[in-house]
Each structure stands twice: as C-alpha cells, then as structure tokens.
Structure 1
Amino acid sequence: MASRTAYRVTARTGGRATVRPLRAVLAGALVLLTAATGYGAGAGSAHADPVPTPLPSADATAPPAIRLPVIPSRFEPLSDGCVRPSATVVPQVPWAESSLGLGRARQLASGAGVTVAVVDSGVSRKAPALAGRVTAAGAAGADCLGHGTFVAGLIAAAPAPGGGFGGVAPDACVLAVRGLAADGTPDEAAVAAGIRAAADAGAQVIDVSLAFPRSTRALDDALRHAAAKDALVVAAATPDDPPRTTGGDGEEPPPVAMWPAARSGVLSVVDVDVLGDRPEDAARPVRADLAAPGVGVTGIGPSGRGNYLGNGPSVAAAFTAGAAALLRSYRPDLTAPEVAARLTASAYPAPVPRLDPFAALSASGGSPASAARPSAGSAISLHVPREDPAPGRRATLITCAALLIALVLGAASLLRRRTRAATAREV
C-alpha cells in the first residue's frame, strides 16, 4: 500500500510537472493576446506618453475650449507693434510633444552641452523658459515678432510650473541670430552671415526658419563653412506662408526648390498635422528629409509664461533641430552628417519619414552614415494615402494567440484525463 501511495504521489507530481510548462505557454499566449488587443498596462506603441484629451466643445457640462494667440507666420513688421503677452498657460501635454515621445527621449538626453543657433526674428532674453541660456549676435536678443522665441522654445524651453509644454532639449543653449533685413523682412545676406557667425561661435546645430526661392553665393559659402565646422544645418523646406500658386487647370502645383533647405547636406523638414498629413494647399518642396509636427503647435512667446500657437515648416524644423541637439548631447562622437543620417534612418516610415527622437537616440549597431537618404533632385509625394498596418498585425496576433490557447487547453485536458485514468487503475 505504501508503494501504491508513493506511486500515486509520483504520478500526480509528474502530471503537475507536465502541466506547468503548458500553463507557462498558456500565460504567454494570453500575454500575446493582451498585447494584440491593446489592453493592460504597458500595451501600445513606443510613444506611450500622456496624450491630452481633445478640447471639448463649450456646453453646459464641459469646460470652455482653451484659446491661444497665434504667433505670426509671415516675416514682416507687425502693424500694431510687438506681439502681446499671452495670459493662458496650457496645463496639458501638447499633442506634438506626445506624438514625438519626448518624455521617453528626455530620459536618455536633455541637450546639455549643445548650442543650437536659431536664425529667425531673434530670441528674447526675457522669455522665462529660456532664462540664462540665450546668447545673441548683435541685436538678436530682442524679438518683437515673437517667431524666433517661439521656435527657440520648441527647441530648448524648460517646462514651466503648472504647464504641460516643454522644449525638446530643455538643457541646450540657444544662440540667437537675426535673419531679417533692417526693415524686418527676410534677407538672404542676413541669413548667410548668421549661419557663418553661428558656425564660428561653435553652434553644433543651426536652425534656419527662413526659406528663399533662390540661393546666393554668400549663402552657399556659408553652408559650406558650417559643414567644415561640423555644424548640422536644419531648415524649413518651404516658407511658413508661401504664395499660393497652381499648376493650371486645377492641377497640383509643381514642387518648389527653396534655399537653404534644397541644398545637399542641409536637413530639409516639412510640417504635418496631428494625423500625420500635410496642411491643405501646402507648398511641396523638391526634397524633404523629415516631417515633424507643424500645425496647431503649442509654444512660448517673447515675454511672460503664457502659451501661443504656431504653424508651418519652421515649427517642424525646430522640433528636428531639438532632436539633433539631443542626439549630439547623447552621442558627441557622431559627426553632423552622421546625426542627420541617424535621424532620417530611424524616422517613422511615411511618404516623408516622420521624426522619432527616441528611436534616433536608442538606435544601435552600424554606422548611420550609410543610411539611404533622398537625392537632392528627387520629388517626394506628400499626399499619398497611408495604410496603417497595425490592424492587420493585430488580427494575425489574435488568431495565433487563440490557436495557441486552444492547443494548450486541449493538451492540458487530455493529460488530465490520462492522469485520472491512471489514478483510478491504481486504486
């Protein structure tokens, strides 16, 4: 009897030992099913940052929508003086910041030790979010228009108390350079001089908000000078407020070449909205390396702690320049061409690859310098519809997980019946 008892215990123990790996496989299948359906903690994409709820419409139960002043997108003197301070601080994390996964990227780098030059309308030293980190060439430490300060804030603003907004690289330093003529209009000569001065001052990244329909020898020479100084130039692919033209008979206008973005070696950036699409009637550049948020983007102004809205390729270029600052801070061994190649190679696949700062920082293996980039003369379609592959992948995962669960349950049931039959025979 004792031997039978010993055998029975051994038989049951063996059965449990056999069931344990089956349970482990079953648990794995359930995890796979959970990941496929998107439920549970940790499910979702790599950009699992807090996404603010869309602003509700004003009704009896919902709070009123937040309204922000808009930073001018046209580079010309304001008719009623300088941009007025904003009285509204947005407490939510802006959509652009969430979509770029900046919360994760800033865990790896903050831009410390990197100087980003902003060639724009100037950058106000009075902006609290940039306090102590702005140096200026000449009179560029004041910014009546507000655009340059807005751009610099997207690159390097520190988070404000009670606000959800923060720049891409909040520990980077900003070098303010004015790219406007004395009358406040965009000027190729001023931009060329600004790029050269920024490179000589040691800026590792040079952000150019302005775009011109032609280049000049001075601008070409300045870009070559920046390249020789290992400074990465990031530029808006088209103007923020380009003239509206058509191709005739309602056809889409042809791609345009705008400088300095059209020059080889410059990182050319276009703007996209919250859905990843370009604004309606936006100008198409002959070349675009990256796309980044540029529609309804929250940022700072030249004074006060209030927020503003900004739009255009210059806004998208600012996000890209901030990402370049993060990467140059995190990987100081990379050259400017390698930084540009890593940003483009790690971008999210789309008609124009979408900027992904965390992917650029976390990329490993191989030299990014060999990554393929669009040629200078190729036109890029910016309006091709994109099919999201995620639903198909989720369906496949769900099917595989369900089959695996069925197989495991069947095997466990069969094993349980055999164990009971063996036990009955022993008794």
Structure 2
Amino acid sequence: MCAMRAVRIHRPQTAAAASAVVAVLLAAVGAAPATADSVELPAVRTSLGSDESCATASAQRVETEPWALTSLGARRALTLSEGAGTTVAVVDTGVSEKASGLSGRVTAIGDAGSDCVGHGTFAAGLIAAAPDGDRAAGPAGLAPRARILAVRGTDERGDITAQRLADAIRQAADEGAEVIYVGRALADGKAVLSAAVAYASKKDALVVAPLAPDALAKDRSGQVVKPEPWYWPAAAPGVLAVTDFGPDGKRPGNAPVVSGADLAAPGDGVVGIGPAGEGHYIGSGASLAAAHVAGAAAQVRARYPELSAAEVSRRLTEAAYPAAPPRLDPYAALTAVLPETSGTVPSPEAAVVPRAASVEPRNRALVVAAGSAGLVALVVAAALVIPRGRARGWRAGEN
C-alpha cells in the first residue's frame, strides 16, 4: 500500500491569506496533521518491493494550483512557450501511456509505455502534462505541448544499475531527444554514466538530473547511510544538476546534503499525476525538482531552437533567481538578454597609430615652389630691364 500524505486545499485571496500559505503547504510535506479541509494523496515512490502491488489510480484530486507552479510563475511563462516541437526523454521507471494529461504525446521504447512504480509518469507530468480538461487549476507541466520519450532506466519495479541507466541515456540521445531527464542519482557508475552523458552532449541533448537521491538508503542496522560527496550522472561534466526546496523555501531536514547544484527548483510536497485515472499523487525530492527544470529546458529549446544544449543550460542558470544555488525562473530564462560570452568583459579595441607621412611630396612641393619663385623673379626683372635698354639704345649707362 502507498503511504498517504495530507494536502490542505486553500485558495489565498488576500495578502493575509497568502501569508498563511506556508503553514498550509507544510501540511503537504508532513509537517502538520490532516484536518477536515485536507485531501489525502498517495505518495509517489521511486521503487517497489517484490511483494508490493503496482501503483494504481488515485481517488483524490487537488483542484487548486499547486504551490510549485505558483512559485515558478508557470502561467506567465506559458504565454511565451509551451515546449511545442521539443522532445523530452524521461529516463526513469517508464511513463504510462494512459496517464491523464499526456495522452497522445508519449512515445515509448520497448515496454517503457507502462509504469508499475509511477515515478516516471509523475515526473513526466511535471514536465509536460496538459491542464486537466475544463479545470483551470490543478497539476500541469511547464511544457504541455512537448512530446515525451519514455525510456526505462530501471527494471519494472524500480531497481537500477549504472550500466542500465547509462544505456538508457544513450538510447534517448539516439532517438533525438533535445532534453534528457534522468530520475535517479547513483553513488557509483562514474565511468559509464560520464561516458553516456558525453555521448548525449555530442548529439546536442541536455541532460538534467537530481543532485542526490530523494532519500538515503539504510544499512542493515537501520541507520541512514551517510551521503556521498557526489552522485552520478549529476556530477558528470555537462549535466544540469538540480536540488530541491519546499514551500517554505528550505530543504527538509532529512534531505541528503550534497553541494554542487547548478539550480534549485520546487521539489518537496509536489502534486502531480498518477499512472492511471484522473487522481493525483504527492512526492518530494531532488528528482522532482529536476523534472521542473527539464520542463523549463523544453520551453527554452522551443522558443530558441537555434541554441545548443550548452547554451540552454547557461540561459537557465544565468537567468535564475540569485540564491545559493540559483533558483529556477522559467519566465526569466525565456526573456533575459544575456551577454554574448559568459564571464567575460568586452575589451576595448587597440588604438591604431597611423604611419608617419612621407616627406617626399613635401620636398617636391618646395622645389616646385622655389622654381616658380625664380621664374617670377626673372619675369619681373625682364619687365624692368628690357624697356630701359631699348630706350637707351642698349648703351651702357653713364657713371
């Protein structure tokens, strides 16, 4: 059975009401008990035990806009780009072709069109789910006109190996995905996952991955395993590594603490679609934050098709809200005017000193002027001497 978590349904109308949203949303991540005005949602999982049933349709719905979409300014960004014409690969537990909001836009490799666990479908919904029918609110994706390429990076129940994940990334790149969302973070597999990311980068695909696992494993004694300093593929060069935050702007106290994130995005107490039906699930973790970033990347690639994967990554990070790490801002990524080259200051052009003028024309002019002056002097002298000479019969003058 799936765990249930409480989501209070409130629609703030005033600033005072808005100030209460933090308390309301803390209930969504388990910080407060459910009350009469709450809806119990099943929690999405990353894997299932061998004796657990597959995820089923949720019987509960959230009719208001989830806090994550409000935080991201999703409605404003959607006026500029809905991700049309882009393909986002979801490398995860599969993506159900029956999922609400994704109908007709899922292409699956092999058996990835079914999703027993539900995590891949949930993430795909955060990326690209269309608004649900006539309802104006509720969960939706940042790129509701993008296509989803489902690539199974795990087995049917969510178990995973580095090699399998690496093979899935390569498959996604070969199929022409412009954005590749990876739903898992592994402590091993540096070589094969780095190679897979490099392969995808050569094909101009942007890989987006969670900085760390959604939850740390436990050892045989039940103690939580200390987090690694880095996880893969997020630590590989070229990957957009994403961490999460909750409705209060902070990460949960039990979340893995790993440094090195390129971006942060909403990831805790996030509401999304399930693998079947029209009901909703709730989930938390960096993997869900990465799904939001993948959706924003699809928006940017659709609006600026001339940009390379690396340029899209740069646009998302440099236009983000300044924080540590920077926080995803889809609208700014779609509208910001960035300098041509990151981290450089244009240098002034070198001054050009003209060559010294030749003295030859000047000398020639002086010679001509001197000759002209001499000729004038001769003419003047002739004008004075000749008349006088004629008048005297060319005789020598008397002393």
With over 3 angstroms needed to count, the CA separation of the structure-2 counterparts of 1:262 and 1:216, relative to structure 1, is closer
Q: 1:139 is aligned with what amino acid?
A: D
Q: Which residue of 1 aligns with 2:10?
A: none
Q: Unaligned regions of 5+ residues in structure 1, if any?
A: 1-42, 246-252, 373-427
Taking the aligned partners of 1:358 and 1:184, their CA distance within structure 2 comes to 34
| Selected match of 2:101 from 105, 125, 129 | 129
For residue 174 of structure 1, report the CA deviation from its aligned partner.
0.3
Q: Deviations for 1:46-68, whole angstroms, at most 9, x for unmatched residues?
A: xx9xx8993799xxxx9521221
Pairing 1:287–2:260 present: yes
* AA in 1 matched with 2:160: P
How high is the TM-score relative to the length of structure 2?
A: 0.74
Partner of 2:185: 211
Q: Which structure would you say has the larger Rg? A: 2
Once the two structures are superposed, the pairs formed by residues 144-155 of structure 1 within 5 Å of their partners are: 144-155=116-127
Question: What's the counterpart of residue 303 of structure 1?
Answer: 276
Aligned residue number for residue 54 of structure 1? 24
CA RMSD, Structure 1 to Structure 2 (Å): 2.6
The SS at the match of 2:265 is strand
Paired residues of 2:216 and 2:227 also in contact (CA < 8 A): no
Question: Is this contact kept in 2: 1:212–1:260, CA < 8 A?
Answer: yes
Q: Higher helix proportion, which one?
A: 1
Give the alignment of 1:379-398 within 5 angstroms. Answer: none
Task: Return 180-189 or 343-352, whichever deviates more.
Answer: 180-189
What is the DSSP-based 3-state SS (H/G/I as helix, E as strand, rest coil) of the residue aligned with 1:54?
Answer: helix
Say yes or no: does 1:234 pair with 2:204: no
- C-alpha contact (below 8 Å) 1:158/1:166 kept by paired residues: yes
Given that residues 25 and 269 in structure 2 are in contact (C-alpha distance below 8 angstroms), is that contact kept between their aligned partners in structure 1? no
Structure 2 CA distance for partners of 1:80 and 1:243, relative to 1, 3 Å: closer
Change (3 A) 1:224 1:125: same
Instruction: Give the structure 2 partner of residue 83 of structure 1.
Output: 55
Residue 219 of structure 1: CA displacement? Answer: 2.1
Q: 1:278: how far off?
A: 1.3
CA displacement, residues 228-274 of structure 1 (integer Å, 9 cap, x when unaligned): 000000001001121369xxxxxxx6762100001111000011011
Q: Is the 8 A contact 2:193 2:236 kept in 1?
A: no
1:222 paired with 2:190, answer: no
The answer to whether 1:96 aligns with 2:63 is: no
Structure 2 letter corresponding to 1:218: V
Equivalent in 39, 58, 62 of residue 66 of structure 1: 39
Q: What CA deviation, in whole Å up to 9, does each residue of 1:331-373 have, x standing for no partner?
A: 1111111111111111111121111000100111423x5159x
| 2:117–2:156 contact (8 Å) kept in structure 1 | no
Residue pairs, 1:20-419, within 5 angstroms = 54=24, 64-73=37-46, 75-77=47-49, 79-161=51-133, 162=135, 163-181=137-155, 184-243=158-217, 256-367=229-340, 370=342
How far apart in 2 are the matches of 1:72 and 1:222?
A: 26
Matched AA of 2:240? L
Looking at structure 2, the residues matched to 56 and 190 of structure 1 have their Cα atoms a distance apart, in angstroms, of: 36
SS in 2 for 1:308: strand
Amino acid at match of 1:97: L
Q: 1:278 to 1:79 in 2, by over 3 A?
A: same
User: Alpha-carbon deviation of 1:184?
Assistant: 3.9
Are the structure 2 counterparts of residues 76 and 89 from structure 1 closer, same or farther at C-alpha, using a change threshold of 3 Å?
closer
Contact 1:52 1:95 in 2 (8 A): no
Q: Could you tell me whether the CA contact under 8 Å between 1:77 and 1:145 is conserved in 2?
A: no
Q: Which residue identity does 1:119 align to in structure 2?
A: V
Change in Cα spacing, 1:284 to 1:52, as seen in structure 2 (3 Å) is closer
| Higher RCO (CA < 8 A, seq sep 6+) | 1
- State the SS of the aligned residue for 2:180: strand
1:190 aligns to what SS in structure 2?
helix
Change beyond 3 A, Cα 1:55–1:347:
closer
**Distance change in 2, residues 1:105/1:285 (3 Å):** same
Deviation per residue, 1:101-156 (Å, 9 max, x gap) = 00000000000000000110000001121000001111111000000000000000
Which AA in structure 2 matches 1:236? P
Task: Give the whole-Å Cα distance in 2 for the aligned partners of 1:88 and 1:147.
Answer: 17
Over the matched positions of the two proteins, sequence identity in percent amounts to 50
Distance across 2 between alignment mates of 1:176 and 1:67: 29
Amino acid paired to 1:348: Y
Contact persistence 1:255–1:286 (CA under 8 A): no
- One-letter code aligned to 2:288: V
CA contact (8 A) 1:155 1:318 kept: yes
